[in-house]
Every structure is written in C-alpha cells, then in structure tokens.
Amino acid sequence: MKVMRELHAKRVVIKVGTSSLVYPDGAINLRAIDQLAFVISAMRHRGREVVLVSSGAIGVGLNYLGLKKRPKAIPEQQAIAAVGQTELVSIYKERFAVYEQKIGQVLLTRDIFVYPESHQNVLNTFEALLAQNVIPIVNENDTVAVDELDHETKFGDNDQLSAIVATNIGADLLIMLSDIDGFYTGNPNADANAELLTRVERVTDATYEQAGGSGSRFGTGGMVTKLKAAERMLAAHGQMILANGEDPAIIFKILAGEPVGTLFG
C-alpha cells in the first residue's frame, strides 16, 4: 500500500534543468516544454501560485547557433546565453499561450538579494506578477553575472537560484526536476546496490558524502548543488522534492501526494 505524502503547495517554485529541456544531441525538447507549460498552466488555473526557474539558455543557444561544443571563454558563454535566453522565452511564450496562460521574464543576479532596496523591488515584482496570475519565468542573468573579486554576482547554478527564490518569496514547496529519479544512497550509474530514498528529513555531512558527480555538458548542476538547495529549503521550514523531469506530468503525481522522487522535509 502506497503511503501518500502530505504537502503544503499553495505557492510552488518549479526548477527545471537543462537536461529536461535539451536532448543529449543538443536538439530542443519541444515536447517536454509543451508538457511543462500545460502542467503549470493547469496548476495556475486551479489556484496555485507558481514560479518557474528554468535553465537551458546556453543549451538552447548552442542549438540555435549550430554549435556542438560549449566554449570555455566566459564572454563567449555569455553571448550564447543571451541568444539562447531570447529563443527559450519565445518558445515558452508560444507554448503557454496555447493554454491561455501569460508569462513574465525575471532575470536575476545574486547582488539583487544582497542590497535591501533591490531585494525589496524584486520581491514586489514577484508579488505583482503572481497577483495578476502571471507565471514568472526566472533565470540567472548570465550576460552580466560573474565572480569578480569582492563583487560576486553569480548564483553558481540554478539549483541554488531556485532555492533562494523559493525561500525569499515564501514558497511552500520547491519541485526540482532533473535527469535522475531522486536521491540515492550512492551513484546509481556506478553502484548497482544504490537505493532510491523516498524521504530525507535532514541534510547532514553523511548525506553530502553520498552525493557526487557533475551535470550534463549543457548544464552546470550536480547532486551536491541540489542538496544545498534542499538544505536551504529545510532551514526555511519548506519542503523540496527531487524527481525525474523527463515527463513533466510527474508534477501532477507529486501534488497528489504520490511517493515519487525524494521528499526533503
């Protein structure tokens, strides 16, 4: 008998990784984007407040420009992100419009949350968008975000960004969609005995020891960054679920309380 979860999910942040939006060969996964737009629109129409934190700018930019390899130079990456972000939001706008749902783009850097005035301004923007039933689509402003001496503007990855946004806007739940089914006792790609954990109540040093590995060639995240995001959510008395985003319809199962993925909380 399945034990159903009890979730608080009036205000939800959904983070989708590049691997869920871009195929391994670099092509854009339009089916997944369409399904994501459908699910989020349905959530909004049922009264939930939803913020989407979307990776994929560089992955989509590489595809748009016909490039097979991510460049190492920061200015080149930023240029590709600028092109890819425009294309990505255009695709989102087109797909959300099919379901009669309006979207708004919010590009952020870490320093926005450091300075009180800009911090309050961005929170006001989120509240105004949600009040008008608009879905904020959030990404890091990759064209300007760099780690430079004492002026650090970069979040580092969208796992951290999603948790920072979720805790700042008072979200009940962070749903993190990735290319893995959840958090395992070991690396499932290397350890046949690794088991999927359905729930993690606390993130400890031992939890971090079980994590490892980096993200895909199109993204930047790994399991450690997801654990840091979970730790941030737990500290704010929120919940986080890590699940496989291959089919975004899994969000319906999550919200129904089905024990899919790993619940942190």
pLDDT tens per residue, range 9-43: 999 999 999 889 999 899 999 999 999 999 999 99
Low-confidence ranges of the chain (pLDDT < 70): 1, 145-156, 212-221
Q: Annotation-wise, does 143 bind a ligand?
A: no
Is 111 one of the annotated binding-site residues?
no
Residue 232, pLDDT score: 96
Query: How far is it, in rounded angstroms, from Cα 111 to Cα 19?
Result: 27
- Name the pairing type of β-strands 173-178 and 239-244: parallel
- Look up the pTM and report it: 0.91
Please tell me whether 225 is known to bind a ligand.
Answer: yes
Which residues neighbour 180 within 8 Å (Cβ) at sequence distance 6 or greater?
188, 223, 242, 244
pLDDT for the residue numbered 196: 93
Beta carbons within 8 Å of 121's beta carbon, 6+ residues apart: none
What is the structure's pLDDT at 227? Answer: 93
Residue 157 among known ligand-binding residues: no
- The reply, when asked if residue 221 is annotated as ligand binding, is yes
Q: How does pLDDT run across 40-64, given as a tens digit for each residue?
A: 999 999 999 999 999 999 999 999 9
pLDDT of residue 220: 41
Instruction: Determine if residue 178 is labeled as part of a ligand binding site.
Output: yes
Is 158 annotated in a binding site? The answer is yes
* Residue 109 annotated as part of some ligand binding site: no
Q: What is the DSSP letter of 31?
A: H
Class of 17-264 in CATH? alpha beta
pLDDT score of 199 = 95
> Does 142 show up as a binding residue in the annotation?
yes
Q: Is 185 annotated as a binding residue?
A: no
In angstroms, rounded to a whole number, what is the distance separating the alpha carbons of residues 134 and 127?
A: 10
Is 181 annotated as ligand-binding? Answer: no
- Please tell me the distance from the alpha carbon of residue 139 to that of residue 157, in angstroms, as a whole number: 10
Q: Given this model, what pLDDT does residue 152 score?
A: 52
